Amino acid sequence: MEKIIINGGNKLHGQVKISGAKNAAVAIIPAVILSDGVCRIENVPDIQDVNLIAQILFEMGASVKRLDKSTLEIDPKGIREPVATYDLVRHMRASSYLMGALLGKFKRAEVALPGGCDFGVRPVDQHLKGFTVLGANHIVESGMIKVKADKLVGGHVYLDVVSVGATVNIMLAAVKAEGRTTIENAAKEPHIVDLANFLNSMGADVRGAGTDVIKVNGVKHLNGTTYSIIPDQIEAGTYMAAVACAGGDVMINNVIPKHLESITAKLREMGVTIEEYDDSVRVIKDRRLRRCNVKTMPHPGFPTDMQPQIAAILTMADGTSIVNEAVWDNRFRYVEELRRMGAEISVDGKLAVIEGVEQLKGAPVKATDLRAGAAMIIAALGAKGKTQIEDIRHIERGYEDVVEKFAAIGADIKKVRSDDPTVKTA
Ligand code: UD1
């Protein structure tokens, strides 16, 4: 088992390059199934979740080649059976996108119920509601969701909750359906727009992505394409938060500043200086931060996937902050870990009340999920002394070269095996 060891207290300086967006990549890779040609996808992050979804396509019969660290070439024509078993998909929430892609291509899909981060109940009722509107039936049998249609015909879907996953899945199922599908109350996240752009580059007709009404006019064929994935909004936000916690002056490159607006606004409210350029942001922190309140919302609101990271910074801000998690039921499991470092946080349902302390102190902690793991790194960078983070496989699911990138901007960070003697003496 591997751990990350951080000696806190170093200020961060220099430049860091953000990788392609995980959540766009895990939607775009399954979308390739719909293509009648070969797709070359660039700016793909080299992380577990992406490698896993690519592996799933490979095991289903697709040809998957990694041309270099960030480029995949996928030819889906070898996929003959629209079935993804539990063994293949259990580690990945986004494997549910196989449902929409396989249904769109084969009019049939059998996909095991997905895994992924555990932040409470993760229903798929809105995905299935969309498939039903398009004419598909579904049953759940032996842990598999089985969806099937004689033919897919466009229709009107109103989502009861704004769901990224349901919006993606319905777009994927509708892209080759007969006629027009309208998705109302659709998610507006940057990766929804990226998926629509990818589908359109294959010859699809998807309009309105990025607004709350998406219209998909079905087409018969989709060709191969070459497409470059957008930068990762959450990875960028994580580095911004790290500078805000540890202090320093870092240029964060390969970002779309517009995608970071809600994060930038919150950090500025706390007293961080942020300069925006065409495709980079410079983050400067040179004083103790002010408290603030944060409520997570679907895009363009403050992203739930940045909630643990912002909470980590607030543990050392001046005053009392309230964090309201309005998307997921149970996304405060990491609070226990921050308390080990001296944070004063109380949780009541979807609210966390954080009393800012002067200084966190290093401690042994766990990454309870992907973004919780990012929060541990951030807290550790700002803490005094040594922090050991366990269960880092969660972090590696979503952050490319995280240790190398932080070390390059001055963090005292390393990855070690648990049987490494340096850990025992820590
Ligand atoms: C995606 C992101 C995840 C992020 C989340 C919210 C990916 C791979 N993952 O997850 O990192 O935290 O968006 O921004 O992109 N809901 C229902 N019924 C459904 C579907 C969802 O009630 O059928 C509810 C969920 O319980 C949750 C809310 O809708 O409360 C948002 O979920 P959703 O946007 O679907 O999240 P994911 O797509 O799973």
Q: Which residues pair with 12 in a beta bridge?
A: 248
* 246, 12 contact by CB (below 8 A): yes
Q: Say if ligand 1 is within 6 A of residue 125 CB.
A: yes
Residue whose Cα lies nearest atom 15 of ligand 1: it is: 23
DSSP per residue, 156-222:
EEE-SS--HHHHHHHHHHHTTSBSEEEEES----HHHHHHHHHHHHTT-EEE-BTBSEEEEE--S--
Q: Is the pLDDT of residue 173 over 90?
A: yes
Q: Which ligand 1 atom is at minimum distance from the Cα of 370?
A: 11
Average of per-residue pLDDT values in the chain: 94
* 6, 375 contact by CB (below 8 A): no
- pLDDT tens by residue, 298-356: 999 999 999 999 999 999 999 999 999 999 998 999 999 999 999 999 999 999 999 99
Please choose from 160, 163, 262, 350 the residue to mutate so as to test ligand 1's pocket, defined by most ligand atoms within 8 A of CB.
Answer: 163
Averaged pLDDT, 105-118: 80
Banded pLDDT at 223 (limits 50, 70, 90): very high
Q: Say if ligand 1 is within 6 A of residue 327 CB.
A: yes
Q: Say if ligand 1 is within 6 A of residue 239 CB.
A: no
Averaged pLDDT, 31-60: 96
CA distance 70 to 361: 37
Q: Say if ligand 1 is within 6 A of residue 340 CB.
A: no
Q: Is the pLDDT of residue 420 over 60?
A: no
pLDDT at residue 114, rounded to an integer: 65
CA distance 299 to 306: 12
Q: Say if ligand 1 is within 6 A of residue 166 CB.
A: yes
CA distance 417 to 388: 11
pLDDT at residue 117, rounded to an integer: 54
The reported pTM is 0.96
Banded pLDDT at 112 (limits 50, 70, 90): confident
Q: Which ligand 1 atom is at minimum distance from the Cα of 94?
A: 8
Q: Is the pLDDT of residue 200 over 50?
A: yes
Q: Which ligand 1 atom is at minimum distance from the Cα of 120?
A: 26
Q: Say if ligand 1 is within 6 A of residue 117 CB.
A: no
Please choose from 125, 159, 161 the residue to mutate so as to test ligand 1's pocket, defined by most ligand atoms within 8 A of CB.
Answer: 161
Residue whose Cα lies nearest atom 5 of ligand 1: it is: 164
Q: Say if ligand 1 is within 6 A of residue 160 CB.
A: no
Averaged pLDDT, 35-58: 95
Helix, strand, coil share (%) of the chain residues, nearest 5: 35, 30, 35
CA distance 288 to 318: 7
* 302, 371 contact by CB (below 8 A): no
pLDDT at residue 143, rounded to an integer: 79
Q: Which ligand 1 atom is at minimum distance from the Cα of 27?
A: 8
Q: Say if ligand 1 is within 6 A of residue 120 CB.
A: no
What percent of the chain is predicted at pLDDT more than 70? 96
DSSP per residue, 57-75:
HHHTT-EEEEEETTEEEEE
Q: Is the pLDDT of residue 21 over 70?
A: yes
Question: What's at 62, amino acid-wise?
Answer: A
Q: Which residues pair with 221 in a beta bridge?
A: none
Banded pLDDT at 62 (limits 50, 70, 90): very high
CA 76 to ligand 1 centroid distance, Å: 27
Please choose from 53, 93, 117, 122 the residue to mutate so as to test ligand 1's pocket, defined by most ligand atoms within 8 A of CB.
Answer: 122
- pLDDT tens by residue, 64-86: 999 999 999 999 999 999 998 88
Strand ordering across the sheet containing 137-141: 83-84, 108-112, 144-148, 137-141
pLDDT at residue 121, rounded to an integer: 60
Q: Residues with catalytic annotation?
A: 117
Q: Say if ligand 1 is within 6 A of residue 305 CB.
A: yes
Question: What residues have CB less than 8 Å from 303, skipping those under 6 apart?
Answer: 233, 234, 237, 262, 263, 296
CA 267 to ligand 1 centroid distance, Å: 25
CA distance 177 to 291: 50
CA distance 388 to 390: 6
CA 187 to ligand 1 centroid distance, Å: 9
Q: Is the pLDDT of residue 41 over 60?
A: yes
Q: Say if ligand 1 is within 6 A of residue 93 CB.
A: yes
What percent of the chain is predicted at pLDDT more than 90? 89
By mean pLDDT, which of 165-169, 177-181, 417-421 is the weakest?
A: 417-421
Q: Say if ligand 1 is within 6 A of residue 19 CB.
A: no
- pLDDT tens by residue, 256-296: 999 999 999 999 999 999 999 999 999 999 999 999 999 99
Residue whose Cα lies nearest atom 3 of ligand 1: it is: 305
pLDDT at residue 141, rounded to an integer: 86
Closest CA to 199 of 295, 110, 296, 97: 97
* 195, 168 contact by CB (below 8 A): yes
User: In 10 A of CB 348, how many CB atoms?
Assistant: 8
Averaged pLDDT, 202-218: 98
* 334, 376 contact by CB (below 8 A): yes
Q: Where are the beta strands (DSSP E) in 271-384?
A: 273-276, 280-285, 294-295, 320-324, 344-348, 351-355, 364-366
Q: Is the pLDDT of residue 122 over 80?
A: no
CA 161 to ligand 1 centroid distance, Å: 9
Averaged pLDDT, 167-175: 98
